[in-house]
Amino acid sequence: MSITFVYTISVLNSLGVFATQVVVSLYALQLGAGPLTIGLIAGSFSLFPMLLAVVSGRLVDRFGARWPMTFGIIGGGLGVLVPWAAPGLPALYVAGLLTGLSVIFINLATQNLVGLLSTPDNRARYFANYTLTMSAGQLLGPLLAGLSVDHLGHSGALLTLVAISLTQMTLMALRGSALPGGTRKSGKAAGGIRAMLADPLVRRMLVTGCLLNAGINLYQVYMPVYGHAIGLTATTIGIVLAMNSAAAFVARVALPHVIRRFGERRILVCAFAAGAAGLALIPLFRDPLLLALVSFCFGLGMGGGQPIVLMMMFSNSKDGRSGETLGLKFTTNQFTKLTSPVLFGGIAAVLGLFAMFWINAALMVAGALLSRPPRRKPPS
């Protein structure tokens, strides 16, 4: 199986998911939703991944990638069809739930495939390239969403997203049989989640991964809200969001070389610092160009941090349990994604968007402190 096929499925999935998030948010705003409702809808994307990620990871370990990926693609297509067929806020919650179900199976399967097809020598490059495909989706998704909403309306934008799912299904029908199978072992692996959590590096990566994803998710959810509040068009909001993804793309191209020179921990510290600066500056600007520059700064940090966490989680997984370990990471990340939009939506409703961005920036500072390399003990 060529790694290129995995990358292709990943970029299409990322394109569809990020476009769906923007389309759903803009659709909800048109229907009169406030910040708290937007947060609840955004949280619906994370409910199933939070509850089912570990189980899904075990299924990927046992049966391989083909059928989990197929199931996920079908779920994603059905998810965007619901608000097209039955417009209204309740349908947007359903779209979030089904899209989240799609994400869990496709992402876990493709992440595990990247790890299985790599070696220790090329693993950093393979995971960096994998996250580049996600960056491409993050770059194109908001642009596609904004242009589709402005020129086709919300219903037309939803049908555009269905076309992406159909493209993925076609590729799976042509090449899915070549995907490697699973271990076919039944039952829960020895030790379960508690054994994985006994590793202090795994615990640290889970926490830093949660902080990274909280920052990215809140930016993706509330940057459109802020742009709408200051009068930006959907296309302009899409361009600002796309600058974040363009920066992540740049960071991930350079990441393997930078890791070799400075090490993973130092890069994580810089990633959180850039994220904190970006979030703190967003509410200070209303000019689209300045917001795009701040978005680029934020993307440099978050784009560099994600592959490092992913690579270190896979490298520290037990034999035959890489899908389950990635599922545990997915569970904690999705719990953060589920709770943070609701929590920060409440903060925004009470204290305003300024406070929401600045509190999130403070969390990025905490992540930088947590990611510091351990101090070397002085020679005795």
Question: Per-residue pLDDT tens for 113-132?
Answer: 888 887 777 777 888 888 88
Q: Can you tell me the distance from the alpha carbon of 49 to that of 36, in angstroms, rounded to the nearest whole number?
A: 21
pLDDT for the residue 163: 92
Are 45 and 96 in contact by the 8 Å Cβ rule? The answer is yes
Provide the residue type at 97 as one letter. Answer: L
pLDDT of residue 373: 67
Let me know: does 180 contact 192? Beta carbons within 8 Å.
no
Contact by Cβ (8 Å): 126, 118? yes
Q: Is the pLDDT of residue 379 over 80?
A: no
Local structure of residue 88 (DSSP, 8 states):
S
Residues in Cβ contact with 164 at an 8 Å cutoff, skipping those fewer than 6 apart = 12, 15, 16, 19
Question: Residue 186's pLDDT is what?
Answer: 46
Which DSSP helix (H) or strand (E) runs through 222?
Answer: helix 200-229
Q: What is the mean pLDDT of residues 78-99?
A: 89
pLDDT value at residue 191? 57
Q: What is the pLDDT of residue 380?
A: 46
Q: Report the mean per-residue pLDDT for the chain.
A: 81
Judge contact between 70 and 172, C-beta under 8 A.
yes
Instruction: Please give the structure tokens belonging to residue 97.
Output: 């739930």
Domains and CATH numbers, the chain: 3-174+197-370 (1.20.1250.20)
pLDDT band for 321, please (50, 70, 90 cuts).
Answer: low
The percent of residues above 90 in pLDDT, for the chain, comes to: 5
Name the token pair of 328. 């545990």
Euclidean distance between the first and final Cα of the chain, in Å? 52
Residue identified by tokens 């476009």 is 19
User: By three-state DSSP, how is residue 186 classified?
Assistant: coil
What is the per-residue pLDDT for 182? 62
Question: Is the model's pLDDT at 291 over the cut of 70?
Answer: yes
Q: Two tokens at 312?
A: 């270190």
Any idea which of 137-151, 188-202, 277-291 has the lowest mean pLDDT? 188-202
Confidence of residue 375 (pLDDT cuts 50, 70, 90): low
Structure tokens that stand for 114 in this block: 């990247």
CA–CA dist 373, 289 (Å, integer):
36
Residue in this structure with the two tokens 């009169």, named with its chain if needed: 32
The number of beta carbons lying within 10 Å of the beta carbon of residue 374 is: 6
> Which range, of 15-24, 109-118, 156-165, 337-346, averages the lowest pLDDT?
337-346
- When mean pLDDT is compared across 80-94, 117-131, 358-372, the lowest value belongs to 117-131
Please state the pTM of the whole predicted model.
0.69
Give the mean pLDDT of 32-58. 79
Write down the pLDDT at residue 185.
53
At 223-243, the pLDDT tens digits run 888 888 888 888 888 888 888
Asked whether 176 and 6 are in contact (CB, 8 A), the reply is no
Q: In degrees rounded to 5, what are phi and psi of residue 245? A: -70, -35
d(CA 47, CA 60): 19
Contact 108, 330 (CB under 8 A): yes
Nearest to 218 by CA among 269, 143, 300, 276: 276
